[in-house]
Structure formats: C-alpha cells, structure tokens
Amino acid sequence: MSGTSPGFFRPNDQVTREQAAIMIARAMNLKLPATPDAARATLAKVFVDTNQMNVYALPAIAAVYKAGLMEGSPLDPNAKKTMYAFNPRASITRAEMAVILQKMMIQMKKLPKQ
C-alpha cells in the first residue's frame, strides 16, 4: 500500500472509492487497461461521472469494475439503458468494503460461491 504522496501515508484519513479501487486492483493483481484513455473510454460507457475520476485511478477503477468487484449506483433503473454513478470521491462504507472482500475471497477460492 502506498501513501497519498511521497512521505505521506495519512493513516487516519477516510478512504475514497477510487483509492479503494487502486488498493483492490493491486491486491488482486488485476490486469489494467493499457492507458488511462482506454480506461476512460470503457468507463464512460457505464458511469456518468468519469470526469470526476482522477487520471491515475482510471485503470484500477476499470479493472475492479470488469472483475465484478466494484459497481456504481444506478441513476434510473427504468431507463432503456441504465447508467451508473461510481462516486469516486465518496468515502467507501464498511458495508461496501465487506461485500467487496467477500467477492475477492470467492474469486480467490477462499470462500464457496453462494
């Protein structure tokens, strides 16, 4: 796990959803898109808030989404094509993290599929 910038770890800060995506992608050794632009193009098809995602986080967000580990919030479930908000700058909740950890453990075959 890396700090927020050289020489700073900030252990008492909240973890944002995009920071969680980076940690999860690294922990799972997920394959990342080749470039941030490729990741942005993929994410823009699903998420309405890609412009709020930091460039350095785009590949990790794309990887955890593709792996089925993180999702967004549906904006209009009755729309012809449902779009989602990833909310990259929002703090990740304990409930969200618990679900992600369960999915990770299932993918690593540490828990049976449910």
Domain-embedded: residue 42: yes
Domain-embedded: residue 114: no
Structural domain harbouring 47: 17-107
pLDDT digits (tens, 9 = 90+) for 44-65: 999 999 999 999 999 999 999 9
Q: Using the CB atoms, write b or e for 52-73: b if 16+ within 10 Å.
A: ebeeebbbbbbbbbbbebbebe
Residue 102 has pLDDT above 70, yes or no: yes
- Residue 79 tokens read as 């729309």
Q: What pLDDT, on the 0 to 100 scale, is given for residue 31?
A: 98
| Region of residue 37 (left: phi > 0; alpha: psi -120 to 50; beta: else) | alpha
> What span, in angstroms and rounded, lies between the C-alpha atoms of 43 and 61?
8
Q: What pLDDT, on the 0 to 100 scale, is given for residue 114?
A: 74
Domain-embedded: residue 95: yes
pTM over 0.75: yes
